[in-house]
Amino acid sequence: MPLREFPAPKEAAERIAVAHARAVDVAELEIPIDGSVDVTRQLQAAWREYGLIKLPAGTYEVSAMLEGRPLQGAGIIASGSGSTLIVSSNLTDDVIRSSDKVFAPIFSGLAISRSALATTGYGLNMNPTSTNDWALVRDLWLWNHAIGINLGSTGYSVAQQIRSEANRFHGFTIVGQWELFDLVALVNGGNGFHVQAPHPASLGQWRGLASYGNAGFGLLVLATSNATRMEALRVSDSFFGGDAAGEIYLDIYATAAHTFTNVYCELQGDGRHGITITENNPDCLFNGCHAQGMGAGRALSWDGAGTLFVKGGSYITTGMGTGIAATRGKASIIGAKARSATGTAIACVAPMAAASIIGCDAGSSILNQAAVAYSQGNF
């Protein structure tokens, strides 16, 4: 079963009983908003005193990290990522850091950048060392950081409409049960979405993710052992394309199944795989998805210990690669379109225990050498 991070009722009640942030509009404090002077001291003082600050449209120049207080509802609310900008000249620290153990922090309507490409530090660092709950992070635009945004450990939080691009390493780093909606990672120096936990964790529901042109993978979910496993990945209505290392890579040590629905992987680069599932994965379901492999690459490369379920969708390679390649566990492939220009459309081979391929549009290019092989009505 997925691991849960929700607080017990008593713990939740205690969190609600803590001190609340008070909101202040910095326009009332006469802080310059034209980017002409360094306003680090004024913004930090206001945030420390009130807990929740509102920023009108403008440009705010800072030279040191802004760090919030552990107050319920603390955060920064601005007028929109297209109109309110915080730009930092500090290239080695976070620009904004939320406090740990805060209930319902909020960051909204803000662009966060640097004067040059940072060597270390996040644009926005949520929950740096422990857990927040009921956070709301939305309408953000981040660039020129080491990593755009860190969505740290949480029982339940929401991140929506965030663009993270042109960062030195990853666009997003993610831990815990974040509900993700409409996030885009573009031309970052690492992975678009980098998911890795320091402890066992379950993940939230993710819809509308997009990546393009990142130097690593579009989406990489990585564990090093059972002690850092992540459970129940659920991704839907998402696009990953043009990422140099491939689009989706899972190496998770999980026990609860992963589900992908209406996910489109458009690949560039010879020999790259669209979707890679390693042996350290449980059952995976791909429902109505599309993936491409280039040259000798595979559209869907399966080596998981559980069962691969493919229902519909299309898996295409442009060269001598394989549309769907399965080498371990079991597979049930139903009603999918698979194509390879000069290779094999569907290949299920040893040491795979069993494979069923039914009603697929794969021509005659099917190789089923699983220990228990079953094919019926393919065309």
- Can you spell out the DSSP letters for 316-377? EESSSSEEEEE-SSEEEEES-EEEESSSEEEEE-TT--EEEEES-B-TT-EEE-SSEEEEES
- Closest alpha carbon to 72 in 95, 51, 41, 92: 51
Cα–Cα distance measured from residue 254 to residue 225, given in angstroms and rounded to the nearest whole number: 9
Contact 46, 69 (CB under 8 A): no
Q: E strand or H helix at 1, and its extent?
A: none
Cα–Cα distance measured from residue 304 to residue 326, given in angstroms and rounded to the nearest whole number: 8
Contact 172, 146 (CB under 8 A): no
pLDDT band (50, 70, 90) for residue 379: low
pLDDT band (50, 70, 90) for residue 4: very low
Alpha helices in 114-154 (DSSP H): none
Q: Quick one: pLDDT at residue 130? A: 79
What pTM does this model have?
Answer: 0.93
User: Highest-confidence range of 4-8, 263-267, 268-272, 311-315, by mean pLDDT?
Assistant: 311-315
Q: Quick one: pLDDT at residue 128? A: 81
Give the three-state DSSP class for 10: helix
Instruction: Give the burial class of 141: count Cβ atoms within 10 A of its Cβ; 0-12 exposed, 13-18 middle, 19 or more buried.
Output: buried
